[in-house]
Structure 1
Amino acid sequence: MKTAQNGDTVKVHYHGKLTDGTTFDSSEGREPLEFTIGSGQVIKGFDEGVKGLGIGEKRTINIPVEEAYGPKQDDLLIEFPKDQFPEGMEPAVGMALNMRNEQGQAFPVTIAEIKEASVVLDGNHPLAGKELVFDLELVEIVGEKSGLILPD
């Protein structure tokens, strides 16, 4: 039986959970996720979890923090003055916002804490610092690797 290898384009159904069982994403009710193994389109641990699966096979994998979104970085916590928020906007913990850096590029942040005169914004990925669990099912191998050689 053909199994998924580095460089193959595959379609995968998945259910992503935290270690406490909380679901953070799932392909249920949607088209399966299509990506090329080893291309950097998905996190490293997800790539590794799909390798070796045959069509129709299922597997549950645990992805450590380092192979997921990495550890939380304290330098991505930004203290922002409350008086610089748009008038009428009431900041709340958990609120998702977009900021712009000096080059004008937008990046997402979440309000982590509200202080008297400022708000602490968290620029970390929401899943940074978390171990992830995925239930995977290989639906299809769309295309096998071509002459392109990707590192294992």
Structure 2
Amino acid sequence: MQIEKNRVVSMHYTLKDHDGNVLDSSEGRDPLSFLQGAHNIIKGLEEALEGHTTGDKLEVTVEPKDGYGVVQEHLIQQVPRAAFASIPDLQVGMRLQAETEQGPVPVMVSEIADDFVTVDGNHELAGAHLHFSIEITDVREATAEEMDHGHAH
């Protein structure tokens, strides 16, 4: 059975960055299962899997625009250090929620200086070329409930 919209796909994967560092993997775990066409995984990977079938092994490179997006400079901001006074052990890499006019936004602390803190609201993999090694372990028709819920059960 081929991968197409409204089919449940199970796969093992290893995700590496452009330098070959492993960022994530299903090794030692159950395969990842998702509903094809429901945007459960990034666009570029979903498109690359279309038409493949159980047993297929493939290498997929996903460009930033089809992965977690390009870096959006307006999501990187310097905030007065005083705004973080309630966080005694503020560190680079710390994940926080910023309160904005549009509601809470997850950010990461990317730099700490004497007078300001730089926070980044981009996804941590924004701008990254993603390299996947994939093995399709199963493809099946989705149940009515899975299609209604928009994800594999």
Q: TM-score, normalised by structure 1?
A: 0.85
Q: Deviations over 1:14-66 (max 9, x none)?
A: 11111110111111122211111121111111101221222121101000111
Q: Is the 8 A contact 1:50 1:136 kept in 2?
A: no
Q: CA deviation at 1:129?
A: 0.5
- The corresponding residue for 1:97 is 96
Q: Is the 8 A contact 2:9 2:33 kept in 1?
A: yes
1:28-107 aligned within 5 A: 28-87=27-86, 89-102=88-101, 104-105=103-104, 107=105
- 1:88/1:45 CA distance change after superposition, 3 Å: closer
Q: CA deviation at 1:99?
A: 2.4
State the AA in 1 paired with 2:17: L
State the AA in 2 paired with 1:128: A
Distance 2:68 2:8 in 1: 22
Percent of aligned pairs with the same residue? 35
Distance 1:117 1:124 in 2: 22
- The corresponding residue for 1:112 is 110
- The corresponding residue for 2:133 is 135
Of Structure 1 and Structure 2, the greater helix share is in 2
Distance 1:66 1:117 in 2: 34
Q: Is the 8 A contact 1:3 1:51 kept in 2?
A: yes
Q: Is the 8 A contact 2:35 2:142 kept in 1?
A: no
Distance 2:61 2:82 in 1: 43
Q: CA deviation at 1:120?
A: 0.5
- The corresponding residue for 1:4 is 3
Q: Which moved more, 1:88-97 or 1:70-79?
A: 88-97
Q: CA deviation at 1:101?
A: 2.7
Q: CA deviation at 1:83?
A: 1.5
Unmatched tracts of structure 2, length 5 or more: 148-153
Distance 1:33 1:136 in 2: 11
Q: Name the Cα RMSD after superposition.
A: 2.0
Q: Is the 8 A contact 1:6 1:145 kept in 2?
A: no
State the AA in 2 paired with 1:134: F
- The corresponding residue for 2:19 is 20
